[in-house]
Amino acid sequence: MGNAKTTFIFVISFFVMIGLYAGFSPAYGQEGEEINPKKLFEYHCATCHGDDGKGTKRGHELKAPNFADANWQASKKDADILNSITNGKNKMPRWSEKLKPEEMQALAKYVRKLAPKKRA
């Protein structure tokens, strides 16, 4: 009887912790809210790519691309960017095991927003 009670408490605690993690994760909004790709990028990508996409010292050492470079942007298809996020590339980890498909798609679109603005 005591073993069943311990198992029950463990299972309940596990689901409470999962719920708290999902609630505090920057990748997820509250119920019904959209994904915030900027926060997702800052949380998962900015360590190497920088908040502005130009790269950090660590990112430069790992040869992370400069997302704010017009030539880099022009040389990549949307599918290439999504593939790199999903499957990883060189030293970049694959995010398919940690992010939902819609989060990876939001990140790929956000990378395009880091392109330099065209002058009118």
One domain for residues 18 and 59: no
Tell me the per-residue pLDDT of 14-49, one tens digit each, with 9 for 90 and over: 555 555 444 444 555 445 568 999 999 999 999 999
Instruction: Provide the pLDDT for residue 20.
Output: 46
Tell me the per-residue pLDDT of 41-91, one tens digit each, with 9 for 90 and over: 999 999 999 999 999 999 999 999 999 999 999 999 999 999 999 999 999
One domain for residues 97 and 43: yes
Domain with 3, as residue range(s), is: 1-33
The CATH number linked to 61 is 1.10.760.10
Count how many domains the chain has: 2
One domain for residues 54 and 80: yes
One domain for residues 27 and 40: no
Orientation angle between helical segments 101-113 and 37-44, nearest 10 degrees: 90
One domain for residues 22 and 56: no
Long-range contacts of 63-67, Cβ-Cβ distance < 8 Å, separation of 24 or more? 63/90, 63/91, 64/92, 67/111, 67/114, 67/115
pLDDT at 5 over 50: yes
One domain for residues 59 and 18: no
Tell me the per-residue pLDDT of 95-118, one tens digit each, with 9 for 90 and over: 999 999 999 999 999 999 999 887
pLDDT at 11 over 60: no
